[in-house]
A and B are shown apart, each in its own frame.
Chain A
Amino acid sequence: MTLKHLGRVFASLVVYGLIALAVLFPILWGLLTSFKPRRAILQYPPVMLPEEPTLAHYQRLWDEGVQHFIVNSLIVTSATLVLSLIVGLFAAYALARANFSGRTVIMFVIIAVMSIPIASLLVPTFTMLSQIGLLDTRTGLVLLYTAYQLPIVVWMLMGYIQTLPVELEHAAMIDGHSRLSVIVRIVAPLSAPALVAAGLFIITFAWNDFVVALVMNSSVATRTLPVAVYNFLGFFGRDWGPLLAASMLSIVPVIIVFIAFQKHFVSGMTGGSVKG
């Protein structure tokens, strides 16, 4: 019985390990290679660990001004994050709690919009942005990313808010707090797990987006990191060192954020509030 159990654990470890290895190997290879000196990269037979680790490729990127694109990406991503979560929270609250005509229609539209691929929206949104004069700006990107992400964000938050005991809000209102104050002081903190989950979605999308940024923004001044990495491909030619270093710069932050917030996915926030 226990032996069988052990065997099963061992077998699943092997399977999961293999899957993880297959997924992680290219990233790991890229990360290690970005620290190898140029001549060691194409060495045959290949060597996994860098024998003489070097930061030369990162230095090179820095000299080429990669920090400028990192800052652009940071600005666009954080602005998108804040805007989407604020708008999303209020919209989700209204849909979860308020009774108004057209509520069902709005929810239907949200779902419908979620299923439209972004690629098919590129041309119309390009025209719209150019008409309001936000083409080739970071603001334009922020607005577009927010628009793309809001449906999923609203849907996630709405589902979560509906599970919160409405009595807490009633109690807070009777305690003298306005609806706005209730949303800020009660609903938002209690929705933290859903806000984190939605936030990770937003960050991943905004930080990684390539095609929208490529289409909308053409100047170097407003270029984000993924587009910059792509341009390095032309600029550095077959110079894999700086290319891999740039790729790592664009991948690693998202991974770090994910690892850092992973435990917040598990929600235990409402325990003990309402007995029943």
Chain B
Amino acid sequence: MLSVKFETVTKTYGDKVALSALDLDIEKGSFVSLLGPSGSGKSTTLNLLAGMLRPDEGEIWIDGNPVSHLSPDKRNIAMVFQSYALYPHMSVGENLAFPLRARRHRRDRQAIAEAIGKVAESLGLGDLLDRFPKELSGGQQQRVALGRAMIRNPKVFLLDEPLSNLDVRLRIKMRRDIKDLHDRVGATTIYVTHDQSEALSLSDKVAVFNEGRLQQYASPLEIYEKPVNTFVANFVGERGMNFIEGSLRSRNGKSVFSAPGMELVIPGRGADDAVILGFRMEAIEPARDDRADARGLIKQVELVGPDRVVLLELEGGQEVVCRTDAGVILNKGETHGFVLTRGKLSFFDKQSGDALASAR
């Protein structure tokens, strides 16, 4: 069942198109990330759903009801802001109770006290209820903001870059807590972020935005392994994809990709004069014998945890990043042969940047 549906939603500011004909279906109870660089339209999407903005065209549905004409207070959604937006003149307890004091959700005193108790316990806020926001640490403020969103069991949770103000360790802990919370509460959660690792690690599905357009909407694995265009390929993944420009020719039912300094025989892919080969850094590894797809000069070796990340310059002059485990010794300044894993290659049209249909 659908929880949220965007139907050709467009939003413009003067001449600038902030969001262009967005179609997006979000399943009930799922965790969806809106991922993109700043100005990509992800925050516009969130604000349209929250009701802070009205779409110029199209309709937004929540639980099967059109909501474009409704003000934020009538949509039964909850939101955690990047700045947390805690009410500075209210204690933590009053902040938590605030949604329940709205006429729309009015509860009696005892019910409010019970709800606060439950939320405070699940987020470990019990000792902080009498404090004011400015007396809390960043992580504590974050938890209060989450609690305020949870307290009235909304239909949809919106999280707007909720972790970007926290330091790295706390961010990873809060990431787990948010995932945990979603698993426990089971409400539809929409998470806006520009951090691809957050999006990939948390979500059931990721929607990648660029320049006001939805680029790809798929599971994290699919986004990572089968990006629909070079933008997604480059934006997602710790280092982005490696790209090599070249051409495809057919030969004996197979295809041959040629680029300066390399020739690659691959299962049939058709022919195309101007393509881009894309592959992730784990899809290239040092050759164990003399059968190499390409030779490269090692320019830099970085130790990353148990792995090494190696920057190569191929013979054709292309720069490529490669990930090897620490057992393989590669030294700066050496030249070495490398092989590509055939199943992990993507091809894009050079002109449009769109992925070519995969092998049949």
Contacts and interface: CB of A to CB of B under 8 A. Distances in A.
Interface residues of A, number: 26
Contact of B87 (A168, A178, A181): A168
Given A174-B72, A174-B73, A190 B88 contact: yes
Interface string B124-150: 000000001111101001000000100
Interface string A180-191: 010001100110
Interface in A175-228: 175-179, 181, 185-186, 189-190
A4 interface: no
A170 interface: yes
B85 A171 contact: yes
Interface stretch (B75-83, B219-227, B261-269): B75-83
A272 B158 CA distance: 22
A167 interface: yes
A273 B135 contact: no
Contact of B72 (A165, A170, A274): A170
Contacts of B77: 174
Nearest to B86: A273
B85 A273 contact: yes
B52 interface: yes
A269 interface: yes
A102 interface: no
Contacts of A172: 87, 98
Contacts of A175: 73, 78, 98-99, 102, 148
A65 to B, nearest CB: 44
Nearest to A188: B89
Given A190-B88, A273-B85, A274-B83, A173 B71 contact: yes
Contacts of B75: 174
A5 interface: no
A189 B148 CA distance: 20
Contacts of B51: 173-174
A171 B76 CA distance: 12
A270 interface: yes
Given A269-B89, A271-B134, A272-B133, A170 B102 contact: no
29 contacts: A165-B85, A170-B52, A170-B81, A171-B85, A173-B51, A173-B72, A174-B51, A174-B72, A174-B79, A174-B158, A175-B73, A175-B98, A175-B102, A175-B148, A176-B76, A176-B102, A176-B103, A176-B104, A177-B102, A178-B73, A189-B89, A190-B89, A272-B88, A273-B85, A273-B86, A274-B85, A274-B86, A276-B83, A276-B165
Given A175-B148, A181-B102, 14 more contacts: A170-B79, A171-B79, A174-B77, A174-B158, A175-B78, A175-B98, A176-B104, A178-B71, A178-B102, A189-B89, A272-B132, A273-B85, A274-B83, A276-B83
Interface of B: 50-52, 71-73, 75-79, 81, 83-89, 98-99, 101-105, 132-136, 138, 141, 148, 152, 158, 165
6 closest pairs, A vs B, by CB? A272-B134, A176-B102, A273-B88, A171-B85, A175-B99, A173-B72
